[in-house]
Amino acid sequence: MLNSELISFENPVFRCYLGWSAVLVLKIFAAAIYSGLMRFFTSTFANPEDLMSPKLKVKFDDPNVERVRRAHRNDLENILPFFAIGLLYVLTNPSAWLAINLFRAVGIARIVHTIVYAVVVVPQPSRALAFFVALGATVYMALQVIAAAAF
């Protein structure tokens, strides 16, 4: 079988990857918009040309802005590798049940991660749990891809 036949809307695993990837792209952008709004609310602008009033000065240390920026960066560190490895994992023709639940786990865990990190701060280990669920699922996919490439 050609692996590229798995890239089809009739393959439920590929469709599930497709849907969650697009949702997570929107989630990353939501973090971007949210950090922009937080800059406005707290008048924390990093560039002189962004200052809304001549009385303002550039500012880099607002804790609310920095918190959203950390959540956003954590998305880049974890969701962007998932985009790559998720597609390659689909091409290994995994069990549909397992693959679909792994994609759901990554999608839901990363949305929860942003919420408990930057929207309503929830005490640990909530953020650590969300982080490790998504990380564990993505690591499993990477190991399956390595196994498929090697044998």
Binding segment toward its own copies, per CB under 8 A, in 94-102, 107-115, 122-130? 122-130
> Using CA of residue 86, residue 14, residue 21, residue 108, what is the dihedral sign?
negative
**Residue 3 binds its own copies, judged by CB under 8 A:** yes
Minimum CB–partner distance for residue 3 and its own copies (Å)? 5
Give the number of other Cβ atoms within 10 Å of residue 44's Cβ. 20
Distance CA 12, CA 23 (A): 16
**Residue 37 binds its own copies, judged by CB under 8 A:** no
Site string for its own copies, 50-89 (x = CB under 8 A): x---------------xx--x-xx--xxx-xx-xxx--x-
**Coil, strand, or helix at residue 122?**
coil
Tokens found for residue 116: 């408990």
**Residue 91 binds its own copies, judged by CB under 8 A:** yes
